[in-house]
């Protein structure tokens, strides 16, 4: 009987390396793949390999993945996903900032690359499943697949996986979902993997030194236009360097002298204006979300009382979620939330299970 084949996305880090090792130990036919996704000279010259060595597409990261694959005795391939990444992730990243929104490129990457293009490649290679090193769990309950938070509350990555539907979840493994980061590093040492103590990066992979402003300046050049900073009454109180460099809730770097701290309340791309106000003006109780994905495969009807997160590191908050037509939902929080930001994702939970989510429109 042939073993079931699993395509494991290997970034060269400890998480994906241990994921591959665990699946190999469990008897699967494991194939390691490293996805090349960004152009090394995209918009700002060659990246500094020394500074960017931890990122998922650096030369050293690919070499680490190959070394781990050799130790595990599994084949390893490098896949070129640069074009689809540029079309689906990088172009969206730039466009969102140009329109006064703050994108989450990791969510776009998961949707279109790691669980989109990779699944298609798995079909081409005759693989039954794909696997990643994400900290989340997939379980079958009541005849449906559910995605649940990872055991490690600090590392839980279910927020960035809300777009996975029933068909995708039926073919995905998250071997680290029931482990903590400490346990994963311990396993890496036991497996004899050279990446056991490798430092991890939280940066955007295609942005050098996590400096998105320099990145945008490099790719947009003279398309960035300075403009007015105005208060809530429309009075000009300062000048901005380009709306691309500002995000909702921002306090630092406004260059405005004022008796009380000022925050970015909204961004108006039509007027090329940044609107500021006091801290209380940044708080919001409601939002409308679009581009919805629900794990069940369909938008729930009626009003649901759920927990919601408006960004990756935000705490969960009680909210009422109601479909309002045209592929949108209105989310009303019981307590005001700080800096509800268009372009970010709102993700809904019931207990530790992901219900779904969408992009914050306004």
3-22 residues labelled b (16+ CB within 10 A) or e (exposed): eeebbbbbbbbbbbbbbbbb
Q: Is 57 a catalytic residue?
A: no
E strand or H helix at 32, and its extent? strand 29-36
Catalytic residue chosen out of the listed positions 56, 88, 106, 205? 205
**Closest by CA position to 344, among listed 362, 317, 356:** 362
Q: Is 56 a catalytic residue?
A: no
Q: What three-state secondary structure class fits 162? A: coil
Task: State how far the Cα of 267 lies from the Cα of 242, in Å rounded to an integer.
Answer: 11
Task: State how far the Cα of 90 lies from the Cα of 84, in Å rounded to an integer.
Answer: 9
Cα–Cα distance list, 130 to 37, 70, 283, 342 (Å)? 18, 19, 41, 32
**Closest by CA position to 113, among listed 85, 75, 74:** 85
Give the CA count within 13 Å in the CB-facing half-sphere of 324. 11
Task: State how far the Cα of 29 lies from the Cα of 51, in Å rounded to an integer.
Answer: 35
Tokens of 22: 């665990």
- Phi first, then psi, for residue 117 (nearest 5°) are -65, -35
Catalytic residue chosen out of the listed positions 56, 57, 106, 109? 109
First to last CA, the chain: 54
Tokens of 86: 């540029």
Q: Which residues are catalytic?
A: 109, 205
């Amino acid at each position: 009987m042939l073993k079931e084949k699993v395509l494991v996305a290997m970034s060269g880090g400890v998480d994906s390396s241990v994921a591959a090792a665990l699946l190999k130990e469990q008897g699967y036919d494991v194939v390691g793949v490293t996805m090349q996704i960004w152009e090394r000279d995209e918009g700002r010259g060659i990246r500094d390999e020394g500074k960017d060595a931890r990122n998922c597409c650096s030369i050293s990261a690919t070499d680490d993945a190959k070394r781990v694959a050799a130790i595990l005795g599994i084949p390893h391939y490098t896949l070129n996903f640069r074009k689809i990444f540029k079309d689906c992730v990088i172009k969206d990243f730039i466009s969102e900032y140009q329109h006064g929104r703050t994108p989450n490129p990791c969510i776009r990457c998961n949707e279109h690359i790691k669980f989109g293009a990779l699944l298609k490649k798995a079909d081409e290679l005759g693989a039954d499943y794909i696997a990643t090193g994400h900290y989340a769990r997939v379980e079958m309950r009541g005849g449906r697949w559910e995605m649940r938070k990872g055991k490690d509350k600090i590392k839980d990555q279910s927020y960035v996986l809300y777009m996975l539907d029933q068909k995708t979840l039926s073919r995905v493994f998250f071997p680290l979902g029931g482990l903590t980061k400490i346990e994963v590093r311990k396993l890496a040492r036991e497996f004899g993997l050279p990446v056991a103590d490798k430092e991890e990066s939280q940066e955007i992979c295609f942005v050098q030194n996590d400096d998105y402003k320099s990145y945008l300046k490099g790719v947009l050049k003279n398309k960035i236009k300075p403009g007015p900073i105005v208060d809530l009454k429309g009075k000009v109180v300062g000048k901005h360097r380009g709306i691309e460099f500002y995000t909702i809730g921002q306090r630092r770097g406004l260059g405005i002298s004022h008796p009380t701290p000022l925050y970015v309340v909204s961004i108006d791309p039509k007027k090329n204006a940044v609107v500021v106000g006091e801290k209380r003006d940044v708080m919001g109780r409601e939002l409308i979300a679009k581009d919805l994905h629900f794990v069940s495969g369909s938008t729930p009807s009626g009003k649901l009382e759920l927990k919601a997160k408006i960004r990756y590191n935000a705490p969960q908050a009680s909210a009422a979620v109601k479909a309002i037509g045209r592929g949108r939902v209105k989310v009303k929080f019981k307590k005001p939330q700080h800096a509800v930001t268009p372009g970010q994702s709102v993700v809904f939970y019931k207990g530790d299970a992901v219900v779904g989510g969408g992009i914050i429109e306004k």
